[in-house]
A and B are shown apart, each in its own frame.
Chain A
């Protein structure tokens, strides 16, 4: 496997640190004019999602991590694994376990496309698009007159996610939701 020396460090680089795949977030080069150079590096551990801060002497190197981001369509779950398929026409399928799917499970809708990070060829994490469109399957009945201002209530979506919505939303409507904040954005016109 290839390795990267400190000279090649930059944001976005995927490396192995203490055996875990990490992505470099920030790389700060520090050097007194006549002295030893160091790189102060912030990395996100892709397994634990924790941010690490490490210092490297200039010239040290890290092994490259075989990490790839791929767009994949969500197919179905068998209860133990969630199955995805590459959208590149190859029909190649990958099975992600609960750890890889994580919180994304509440945004998974069949036939929608997700970003799957593969580590050594197996799904490591699954990320939803920034916005998803999901149907309301349960919420308290709407009240007349509550069209514009004030008030919200919980609504359960088809995937099981619960979001806070305005009082006028009713069962059966399709909503646009921001997956980063988990917030309701708007109603989607029914087609």
Chain B
């Protein structure tokens, strides 16, 4: 990657580094105006996450009797503990880490802007995301499309009603039957989303995808939509690039416990190690997470859109190969 640039040198130009500094100033100004408190939480935490498709990076920390930890895949759990402790609306610019992720849109370490708004639902937070993103990119206001309609329009099938067998057949254009045999329904949908739907999203103007199948709810609350359980989850796409992922947050500790346990069942089935469940987060939920909506937004990708970079390494001084 970038073999033409000597290995000690940055892959981002000075112009891009300047644009990054301007973006950080813009973000801080945006939230100062809205009276949202900036916070910092651990990059190195005691727990990782149970998500099937997120791999944390373990850290060999030893101090004060603490043995081992994880570089955080997102500041979500710690920020929710702050919310439960009465912080009110908060934001953070965090470095987060995801093992194995490297490509034109991925680096295992990246900058995430994550914020929580007490009293907001998903619709209110989407408006704020639109204000922040469009204020920076000077782009037209986003339109909203349901997950179901997006897949129906672009892939030509109904993701809520297609049978597992039909879906698997559909994916045979990319994968061998042997590869598909042990693939979960959601993984097949992810394939369709990545290969067919996503590249078309937000070409002319940004688009929010909403109402994900409840099986892809993660930490969002769910509700009924025309007979199907859907998640109050949204993602924003600009120019085919996935920019953020937001939830009207689940506040029910029992349901959260069940989702963590279910994650670990899926991990075991996929041959991945189980992850210890973060008891501190559950205790915070037991104490009571205020009604809130939260979102995580990739700042490097926002910078890619601003500068017209096709590769994330154009906006990061030292991507992993030269880090």
Binding site for B on A (CB under 8 A): 6-7, 28-38, 40, 55-58, 60
In the complex formed, the residue of A with least CB distance to B183 is: A57
Interface centre among A36, A55, A56 (most CB of B within 10 A): A36
B100 near A34 (CB under 8 angstroms)?
no
B195 near A35 (CB under 8 angstroms)?
no
Binding site for A on B (CB under 8 A): 51, 53-54, 100-106, 174-175, 179, 183, 186-187, 189-191, 193-195, 198, 216, 218, 235, 242, 245
Question: Are A34 and B218 also in contact (CB < 8 A) when A55-B175, A57-B187 are?
Answer: yes
A30 near B100 (CB under 8 angstroms)?
no
A31 near B187 (CB under 8 angstroms)?
no
Q: How many A-B residue pairs have CB under 8 A?
A: 65
CA distance A40 to B102 in the complex (A): 13
B194 near A29 (CB under 8 angstroms)?
no
CA distance A37 to B235 in the complex (A): 17
Interface centre among A7, A28, A30, A57 (most CB of B within 10 A): A30
CA distance A172 to B216 in the complex (A): 75
B101 near A37 (CB under 8 angstroms)?
yes
Question: Are A29 and B242 also in contact (CB < 8 A) when A34-B218, A35-B186, A36-B53 are?
Answer: no
In the complex formed, the residue of A with least CB distance to B189 is: A35
B183 near A33 (CB under 8 angstroms)?
no
In the complex formed, the residue of A with least CB distance to B52 is: A36
A6: which B residues are within 8 A, CB to CB? 100
CA distance A37 to B105 in the complex (A): 12
* Interface residues of chain B: helix, strand, loop or mixed (majority): mixed
Question: Are A28 and B190 also in contact (CB < 8 A) when A33-B235, A34-B216, A55-B174 are?
Answer: no
Cross-chain contact of A36 among B104, B105, B190, B198 (Cβ < 8 A): B190
Q: How far is the CB of A36 from chain B (nearest CB, A)?
A: 4
In the complex formed, the residue of A with least CB distance to B212 is: A34
A31 near B194 (CB under 8 angstroms)?
yes
Q: How far is the CB of A148 from chain B (nearest CB, A)?
A: 37
Question: Are A30 and B183 also in contact (CB < 8 A) when A36-B190, A58-B100 are?
Answer: no
Cross-chain contact of A37 among B53, B179, B186 (Cβ < 8 A): B53
A32 near B100 (CB under 8 angstroms)?
no
B190 near A32 (CB under 8 angstroms)?
yes
CA distance A74 to B193 in the complex (A): 53
Question: Are A35 and B187 also in contact (CB < 8 A) when A30-B194, A30-B195, A60-B179 are?
Answer: yes
A29 near B216 (CB under 8 angstroms)?
no
CA distance A31 to B211 in the complex (A): 19
Q: State the 8 A-B residue pairs at the shortest beta-carbon distance, nearest first.
A: A29-B103, A35-B190, A36-B187, A36-B190, A55-B174, A30-B194, A7-B100, A33-B245
A32 near B242 (CB under 8 angstroms)?
yes
A34 near B194 (CB under 8 angstroms)?
no
CA distance A36 to B194 in the complex (A): 9
A35 near B235 (CB under 8 angstroms)?
no
Question: Are A32 and B193 also in contact (CB < 8 A) when A37-B100, A37-B101, A58-B100 are?
Answer: yes
Interface centre among B53, B187, B198, B242 (most CB of A within 10 A): B53
19 contacts across the A-B interface (CB closer than 8 A):
A7-B100, A29-B101, A29-B105, A30-B103, A31-B101, A31-B103, A32-B198, A33-B245, A34-B51, A34-B216, A35-B186, A36-B183, A36-B190, A36-B191, A37-B53, A37-B100, A40-B195, A57-B179, A57-B183
B100: which A residues are within 8 A, CB to CB? 6-7, 37, 58
B104 near A28 (CB under 8 angstroms)?
yes
B194 near A38 (CB under 8 angstroms)?
yes
A58: which B residues are within 8 A, CB to CB? 100
A36: which B residues are within 8 A, CB to CB? 53, 183, 186-187, 190-191
A28 near B179 (CB under 8 angstroms)?
no
Q: How far is the CB of B250 from chain A (nearest CB, A)?
A: 14
A32 near B194 (CB under 8 angstroms)?
yes
B191 near A38 (CB under 8 angstroms)?
yes
Q: How far is the CB of A87 from chain B (nearest CB, A)?
A: 26
Q: How far is the CB of A26 from chain B (nearest CB, A)?
A: 10
CA distance A161 to B315 in the complex (A): 49
Q: How far is the CB of A33 from chain B (nearest CB, A)?
A: 5
CA distance A82 to B179 in the complex (A): 42
Question: Are A29 and B106 also in contact (CB < 8 A) when A34-B216, A34-B245 are?
Answer: yes
A35 near B103 (CB under 8 angstroms)?
no
In the complex formed, the residue of B with least CB distance to A11 is: B1
